[in-house]
């Protein structure tokens, strides 16, 4: 039996981290493959977190740029919150393996695309807060897509966060 989340068919788990689990999924309504980030934190008993998450999902969805992962949907079902995003098949962490160097021209290309994405977000007063290799995605043709905007800020707004907690990846 196929697992489902709302209307989405979960196909395979592709990543797991401190903020949630990412699935490759199928949207049967639009007949396309998407990525779904299911957030770890329960939202049922924290309206502050829920409001912050919804606000940040809207901000992230408003970041339309060739180097930023598109956000398609945000849902809360019971205690499960999830964000539906454009599926991008690879991460920079997979591309840079075992300390093998990449050509400096390619490194500069990647850095420029990351900077373009961040400049676009900053111009809209959105700060990423968790830039790391796993949040830099690579399309099949090698273009960069920065992912996971806004989640860290939503967690910071949560009543579960303390003044001493670290947002993003230490």
Q: Are 117 and 144 in contact (CB under 8 A)?
A: yes
Cα 94 to Cα 157: distance, rounded to the nearest angstrom: 31
> How big, in percent rounded to 5, are the helix, strand and coil portions of the chain?
30, 30, 40
Instruction: Tell me which of 31, 130, 141, 148 is the catalytic residue.
Output: 130
Q: How far apart are CA 162 and CA 28, in angstroms?
A: 40
Residue 12 backbone zone (phi > 0: left; psi -120 to 50: alpha; other: beta): beta
Q: Per DSSP, what are the bridge partners of residue 68? A: 146
Is 130 a residue of the active site?
A: yes
Cite the active site residues.
130
């Amino acid at each position: 039996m196929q697992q489902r989340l709302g209307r989405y068919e979960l196909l395979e788990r592709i990543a797991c981290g401190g903020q949630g689990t990412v699935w490759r999924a199928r949207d049967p309504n639009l007949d396309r493959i998407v990525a779904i980030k299911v957030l770890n934190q329960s939202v049922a008993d924290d309206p502050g977190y829920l409001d912050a998450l919804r606000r940040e999902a809207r901000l992230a969805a408003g970041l339309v740029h060739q180097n930023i992962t598109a956000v398609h949907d945000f849902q809360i079902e019971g205690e499960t919150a999830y964000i539906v995003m454009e599926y991008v098949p690879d991460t920079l962490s997979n591309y840079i393996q075992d300390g093998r160097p990449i050509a400096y021209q390619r490194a500069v290309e990647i850095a420029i695309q990351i900077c373009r994405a961040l400049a676009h977000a900053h111009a809209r007063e959105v700060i990423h807060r968790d830039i790391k290799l796993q949040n830099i995605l690579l399309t099949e043709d090698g273009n960069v897509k920065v992912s996971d905007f806004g989640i860290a800020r939503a967690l910071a707004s949560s009543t579960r966060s303390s003044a001493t907690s670290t947002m993003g990846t230490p």
